[in-house]
Every structure is written in structure tokens, then in C-alpha cells.
Amino acid sequence: MKIFIADDYQSATPKLAAWSKLAGHDVTVCTETIKDPSKLPAGIEQAEALLLIQQRAPFTQAHLDRMPNLKVIAQTGKNVSHVDMDACTKRGVAVVAAGVGSPYAPAELTWGLIFASLRSIPQEVAALRAGQWQSTVGVGVHGKTLGIYAYGKIGSLVAKAGAAFGMKVICWGRGASLEKAKADGFEAAASREALFSQSDVLSIHIPLNAETRGIVTAADLALMKPTALFVNTSRAPLVAAGALESALKAGRPGFAAVDVFEDEPIYGAAHPLLKMDNVVATPHLGYVEQSTYEMYFAAAFDNLVAFAAGRPQNVLNPDALAAK
């Protein structure tokens, strides 16, 4: 089967142990994005199978029209909100995905960003390389308040690490989320407003969907302390468009650490947050970790191999098989 792997920025997939699963297939790795259907990588129109990495690029009717030989789309993870499922089903293109994933990698990165911001690690590394010595005074987390917005698989890990560092942890979210937090010994914030106003570090771990898009508003951010740090390793559109940039300029919160942006990838530092000294930012590295990649891609490769062998599995749109 002729397989194209899209949006593999670092060409990471051929270096995985799981890569051997694709032996015998004709595989092309695309390091460029396929977001624009009018600028697809050369040869991709011949693809019989396409592997999409998380939600790095949408897949639309316009993409389908440029790929007449496509039979199957494999997805890492199980979130296919970026795929036009109706169009795929009508065309007879199966979408296969397995719900695997790990909360550890994004939780670890969240704490990496927290410490990078509070201890000015990027600035100090750059200053030391430039011949300077100790140009900042950092801020510790012991005795401070950590706010967790959505106590799920990732949020709970971040909360437990905060408690281990001696932080007071307060949580907010839906009823089940709060009940789980309280069962684990954490305090529910007195209100949503209290979460924002009392947190010294506020980390959001909310899934992005139609209900949660823009859930963090300018008014929410304005409640935060001038010394507070806002952390987002989930999805950028959870915050109302432009609200974080404006809030940081106004001084509430005083700092931000982000791993996600509205339109990715970003080249040429073409985002206002990347021009602000009170922001530490990384290029969506939350799940970009060796063991997580092995898990995600092993499952996706297994789905492709099974499909090629005539044994489709984990098909999210089974009607596509009948259409084909």
C-alpha cells in the first residue's frame, strides 16, 4: 500500500521502533504541512493511505478531491474533529483510529514551562551563553497556590506534582471533575472567579470542543494577580481570541507559559506572544516525547497494516466500507 505520513515536522516516524510495522509498504514521510489543499506535497495524490498526526492539519473535501486513490486515513489518537467525516464516508474513505495516549508527557511539559517561566531559565541560559552571570531572581512555588482548571488525567498529574512541591492546590471544572479532585484530597475553588483571582499559577487542561472554545475570557484573565502565571498546554482556542495578549499587556496576569497556538505551525516567530518578554513558549511539544510517539504510532501503524491486509479495525465510519 502507498502510504503518506503528513506533517511529520522532524521526520520522527522513521526513527521509531514501531516503524518496522510498515515493512513491505511504500511509505513517504512529509515534513511539510498539508493544511492548504492547493499546495500538497509532490506525489501525495497517489496515496492510498494517509496518516494524520493528532490535529496538526484539517482534512477537508478539497483534500479528498486532490487524492483520488485514497482508501484509508489513519489517525494518531482518536480525536478526528479536524477530519470531514461525512465527505470521507461518502467517498468510501475509512477513518481508523485507536484511543491510545498518555497524560504523562503533557503533564511533564506543563511543569517544565512553569519552572522555565518562574525561574527565568530561557533568559538565564541565553545570558550565560552571552557571557553574563545571574541576571534575574527567580520565584519558587512552595507555599504558593496552584489552580487547576479541569481535573482530568493530565490536570490531576499536574496537581499532584504541585502538592509534592508544597503548593496549595485548588481546582475548578465540571461536577465529576471536582468530585474526583475532592476524592483525591484537593480543594474545590469557592467559585470560578476565585480560581482565577487566587491562583499564583493557573494551568488549564480542558478538552477543546464547541462548548469550551473561548471558555477563558478577558474578564477571567483580568481577575488574576499581577504576579500570577497563566499556563496553557491544552489548546489555544480555549482562550478567547486576543484575550491573553491583551491581558499580559495590561499586567494581569503578569506572565504566561504556552505550548499551543491558534494556527500551527508557526514560522518566523509570527505570533504576538512570541514577541513578549513575559511569555515562555514552546512549539506544541506536549505529546512530542519518545515513548508517547511509540505508543501513538504503533497503534496507527497497526490500523494501517490491518486495513491493507483486508481486516479493517478501529473504523470510526464503518459506512465508508460499504460505500467503497
Residue 151: pLDDT band by 50, 70, 90 thresholds?
Answer: very high
Region 281-292: what's the mean pLDDT?
Answer: 96
Strand, coil or helix: 27? strand
Q: Whole-model pTM? A: 0.94
Distance between CA 204 and CA 237 in Å, rounded?
12
User: In 3-state terms, the chain is what percent helix, strand and coil (to 5)?
Assistant: 40, 15, 45
User: Is the pLDDT reported for residue 323 higher than 80?
Assistant: no
Region 27-40: what's the mean pLDDT?
Answer: 95
Catalytic residue among 32, 264, 289, 294: 264
Pair (109, 85) in one structural domain: no
Distance between CA 278 and CA 120 in Å, rounded?
10
Q: Is 311 an active-site residue?
A: no
What are the residue ranges of helices labelled H in 32-119? 61-65, 85-91, 104-118
User: Is the pLDDT reported for residue 40 higher than 80?
Assistant: yes
Model pLDDT for residues 110-134, shown as the tens digit of each residue: 999 999 999 999 999 999 999 999 9
Pair (255, 301) in one structural domain: no
Pair (172, 239) in one structural domain: yes
What are the residue ranges of helices labelled H in 185-273? 192-198, 218-222, 243-250
Pair (88, 158) in one structural domain: no
Pair (130, 234) in one structural domain: yes
232 in Cβ contact with 286 (< 8 Å): no
Rounded alpha-carbon distances, angstroms, from residue 100 to 230, 273, 292: 28, 32, 9
Q: How many CB atoms lie within 10 A of CB 136?
A: 11
Residue 324: pLDDT band by 50, 70, 90 thresholds?
Answer: low
How do beta strands 94-97 and 72-75 pair?
A: parallel
The half-sphere exposure of 5 on its side-chain side, counting CA atoms within 13 A, is 22
Distance between CA 303 and CA 295 in Å, rounded?
13
**Cα-flanking dihedrals φ and ψ of residue 318, to 5°?**
-60, -25
Distance between CA 135 and CA 147 in Å, rounded?
29
Pair (90, 153) in one structural domain: no
Region 54-61: what's the mean pLDDT?
Answer: 94
Model pLDDT for residues 208-267, shown as the tens digit of each residue: 999 999 999 999 999 999 999 999 999 999 999 999 999 999 999 999 999 999 999 999
Q: Is 264 an active-site residue?
A: yes
Average pLDDT over the chain, rounded to an integer: 96
User: Is the pLDDT reported for residue 188 higher than 80?
Assistant: yes
- The answer to which of 96-105, 125-134, 136-145, 223-232 has the lowest mean pLDDT is 96-105
Q: End-to-end distance of the chain based on CA atoms, in angstroms?
A: 16
Pair (64, 124) in one structural domain: no
pLDDT for position 101: 83
Residue 99: pLDDT band by 50, 70, 90 thresholds?
Answer: confident
Strand, coil or helix: 54? coil
Q: Is 284 an active-site residue?
A: yes
User: Is the pLDDT reported for residue 36 higher than 80?
Assistant: yes
The CATH number that applies at residue 244 is 3.40.50.720
Pair (77, 108) in one structural domain: no
Pair (72, 173) in one structural domain: no
Distance between CA 204 and CA 247 in Å, rounded?
16
User: Is the pLDDT reported for residue 140 higher than 80?
Assistant: yes
∠ at Cα 70 (102, 49), nearest 5°? 40
The domain total for the chain is 2
Pair (273, 293) in one structural domain: no
Pair (61, 112) in one structural domain: no
Residue 291: pLDDT band by 50, 70, 90 thresholds?
Answer: very high
Place of cell 505550548: 259
DSSP β-bridge partners for residue 74: 51, 96
Region 46-70: what's the mean pLDDT?
Answer: 96
Catalytic residue among 56, 63, 235, 271: 235
Grid cell for residue 214 = 473561548
- State the residue range of the domain holding 230: 104-281
